């Protein structure tokens, strides 16, 4: 009887050891698979082809480009600080040769700039460019910077668009004459504005806007269609000062009199499928400062003849 008990215990211990080993092997396989997938995603791959267009994200900076490759069109995203270098080295119509890493956004593969030229940057080295992890909307939500000794300035112009937060409908910035971006002060965009219609300042296309504020500090290496960027401290619309309730909530699909560029997904006859897709992510096609190649919403065009649609590398939200 004693021998039988010892034999049973021995078998139980052996079975447990086998099960434990099996679990450890499976865990090791899973860890190795995850590590290999991460390493593969971080290994730079070449992208070569014709530059079709550059894109501006919701923060107003150029942060992406479409490249026509032999495998199809690839949208390559990059940090705002790389825009001057890229647009000068690879203007629209030229052949670009870059390296990218891959990441997933929903079910879509995104390509992030890792290096320029024909030489592959070593993964995880200082030579490899890392993607921006801050979204364009986070840039507009954050506290802006100005230069030491900056003087208050006054700008005015016709309202040609606005940029709103698709998460809560707050109006983050106004666009005047398609060339000036005015960041709306936090105290003029309270979240509870939609619950109190009295006191909300309505937005109308081409209405006259006067804004006071400070020039936003220039961003190194960036390119933008907005020749002037203002950190607003006070704004008036049609002679009416904007109060704490601001402009209310401008949500997608609302019945507001003006639509921000990130909500106008209709495009036009010349809009490509790639541009429509980019618009859905919050991008607009970039042309040159003061000459926006995009429709900024509402009935009729508000900024040219193209389409206006976020990393930027950040794109999206």
**Chain segment 167-196, per-residue pLDDT in tens:** 888 899 999 999 999 999 988 876 564 555
The answer to whether 192 and 168 have CB atoms below 8 angstroms apart is no
| Segment 43-97, tens digit of pLDDT | 889 999 999 999 999 999 999 999 999 999 999 999 999 999 999 999 999 999 9
Distance CA 64, CA 140 (A): 18
The answer to whether 259 and 166 have CB atoms below 8 angstroms apart is no
Does residue 257 lie in a domain region?
A: no
| Segment 30-41, tens digit of pLDDT | 444 444 344 555
Residue 265: pLDDT over 50: no
Does residue 184 lie in a domain region?
A: yes
Alpha carbon 272 to its chain's center: 20
Does residue 262 lie in a domain region?
A: no
Q: How many domains does the chain have?
A: 1
Tell me the CATH number at 192.
2.40.50.140
Q: Which domain holds residue 204?
A: 149-241
- In this structure, are strands 228-237 and 240-241 parallel, antiparallel, or unpaired? antiparallel
* C-alpha distance across the termini of the chain, in Å: 71
pLDDT score for 192: 60
Distance CA 64, CA 87 (A): 10
The answer to whether 211 and 174 have CB atoms below 8 angstroms apart is yes
Does residue 24 lie in a domain region?
A: no
Does residue 26 lie in a domain region?
A: no
If you average pLDDT over each of 101-110, 155-164, 249-258, which comes out highest?
155-164
The owner of tokens 């209709």 is: 266
Compare 9 and 278 and report the one with higher pLDDT: 278
- What is the pTM (predicted TM-score) of this model? 0.74
Across 197-219, average pLDDT: 89
Does residue 219 lie in a domain region?
A: yes
Does residue 179 lie in a domain region?
A: yes
Percent residues over pLDDT 70 in the chain: 64
Does residue 36 lie in a domain region?
A: no
Burial of 102 (0-12, 13-18, 19+ CB in 10 A): middle
């Amino acid at each position: 009887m004693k021998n039988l008990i010892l034999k049973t215990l021995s078998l139980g211990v052996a079975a447990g050891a086998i099960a434990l080993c099996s679990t450890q092997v499976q865990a090791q396989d899973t860890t190795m698979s995850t590590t290999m997938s991460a390493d593969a995603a971080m290994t730079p791959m070449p992208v070569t082809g014709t530059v079709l267009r550059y894109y501006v994200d919701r923060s107003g900076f150029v942060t992406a480009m479409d490249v026509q490759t032999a495998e199809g069109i690839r949208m390559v995203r990059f940090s705002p600080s790389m825009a001057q270098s890229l647009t000068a080295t690879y203007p629209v119509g030229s052949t670009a040769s870059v390296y990218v890493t891959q990441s997933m956004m929903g079910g879509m593969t995104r390509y992030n700039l890792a290096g320029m030229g024909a030489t592959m940057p070593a993964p995880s080295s200082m030579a490899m460019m890392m993607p921006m992890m801050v979204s364009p909307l986070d840039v507009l939500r954050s506290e802006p910077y100005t230069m030491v000794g900056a003087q208050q300035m006054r700008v005015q112009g016709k309202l040609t668009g606005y940029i709103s937060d698709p998460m809560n409908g707050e109006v983050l910035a106004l666009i005047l004459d398609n060339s000036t971006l005015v960041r709306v002060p936090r105290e003029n965009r309270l979240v509870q504005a939609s619950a109190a219609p009295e006191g909300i300042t309505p937005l109308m296309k081409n209405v006259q806007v006067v804004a006071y504020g400070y020039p936003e500090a220039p961003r190194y290496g960036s390119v933008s269609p907005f020749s002037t960027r203002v950190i607003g401290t006070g704004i008036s619309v049609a002679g009416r000062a904007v109060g704490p309730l601001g402009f209310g909530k401008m949500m997608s699909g609302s019945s507001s009199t003006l639509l921000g560029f990130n909500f106008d997904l209709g495009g036009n006859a010349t809009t490509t499928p790639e541009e429509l897709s980019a618009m859905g992510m919050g991008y607009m096609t970039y042309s040159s400062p003061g000459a926006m190649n995009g429709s900024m919403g509402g009935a009729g065009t508000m900024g040219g003849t193209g389409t206006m649609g976020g990393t930027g590398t950040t794109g999206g939200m």
